[in-house]
Amino acid sequence: MRFVKARDYRDMSRKAANILSAHIIVKPDCVIGLATGSSPIGAYECLVDWYRKGDLDFSGVTSVNLDEYRGLPHDNDQSYYYFMNKHLFSKVNIDPARTFVPDGMIADADEACRQYDAIVRATGGVDIQLLGLGRNGHIGFNEPDAVFAKGTHCVNLTESTIEANARFFASKSDVPTQAYTMGIQTIMKAKKILLVVNGEDKADAVEKSFFGDVTPLVPASILQLHQDVTIVGDEAAFSKIADRI
Ligand code: F6R
């Protein structure tokens, strides 16, 4: 695992965007795995900026997102599809037909998950997967559990995740309680992983995930077994591991 120290959120975002853009430049038809949440927004802003300046071309890029709330349509402003469209897809020249987010409106969970696994497989594999980190160590919506889930699956969100995400909704009771998420095996199959993490409230999760036991109780800990992981974090997120990196 490579730890890249950033001063603050802005610095973290620029560094992560630099890594992503290098991939797009070197392999214009790359497949990038994308995440939502507050952590990657700054990186998306940089990518949009560099696209506008003519430094980046997304016309050959395919994207697959990690997760989506079950039951939220694309035009719901809290859906992850809406988020991706707002922060990236509508602002760059990526082909909308090559942007994939799990379909939260497929009511049959098994069918929704089967379809998404087939989509990810059909891309030929993710070249670089961008991840955020949950305060409980989740990646995607793979919550702490007794086992690592393999493929795309439907999850019941934990109380801590619902609480963390309530800030984006009118009230906590509006936060959906289920989501479709790529599984751990799918994430681990990405050739490269790029995780961005910032803020004091993630410092515990950073320590447990990258220096603790590999356990499904801390889903991100599995990344210790991946051969190409880069973690870009700010000083606050790295505060508990500063002397070890
Ligand atoms: C979102 C996702 C989640 C978030 C995590 C951190 O697609 O997969 O795992 O990355 O919950 O969220 P933020 O960045 O909002 O702290």
Catalytic residue among 23, 68, 87, 136: 136
Rounded mean pLDDT, 235-243: 98
The yes-or-no answer on residue 136 being catalytic is: yes
The mean predicted confidence, pLDDT, of the chain is: 96
Mutating to test ligand 1, I would choose from 34, 36, 63, 193 the residue with most ligand atoms within 8 A of its C-beta, which is 36
Distances (CA, A) of 32 to 9, 55, 62, 130, 136: 22, 18, 6, 8, 25
Ligand 1: residue of 9, 65, 66, 202 to mutate (most ligand atoms within 8 A of CB) is 66
What's the pLDDT at 165? 86
Measured from the CB, is residue 67 less than 6 Å from ligand 1?
yes
Report the Cα–Cα distance between both ends of the chain, in Å, rounded. 10
CA neighbor of 223 nearest in space, from 193, 183, 201, 186: 193
**Any ligand 1 atom below 6 A from CB of 38:** yes
The yes-or-no answer on residue 67 being catalytic is yes
Centroid of ligand 1 to alpha carbon of 7 (angstroms):
20
Q: What is the pLDDT at residue 40?
A: 98
Q: Is 213 a catalytic residue?
A: no
pLDDT at position 164: 85
> Is 56 in contact with 44 (CB distance < 8 Å)?
no
- Percent over 70 (pLDDT), the chain: 100
Ligand 1 atom index nearest CA of 161: 11
Q: How confident is the model over 70-115, as pLDDT tens digits? A: 999 989 999 999 999 999 999 999 999 999 999 999 999 999 999 9
In this model, does residue 144 exceed pLDDT 90? yes
Put simply, whether the predicted model's pTM sits higher than 0.75 gets the answer: yes
Q: What is the pLDDT of residues 192-221, one digit of tens each?
A: 999 999 999 999 999 999 999 999 999 999
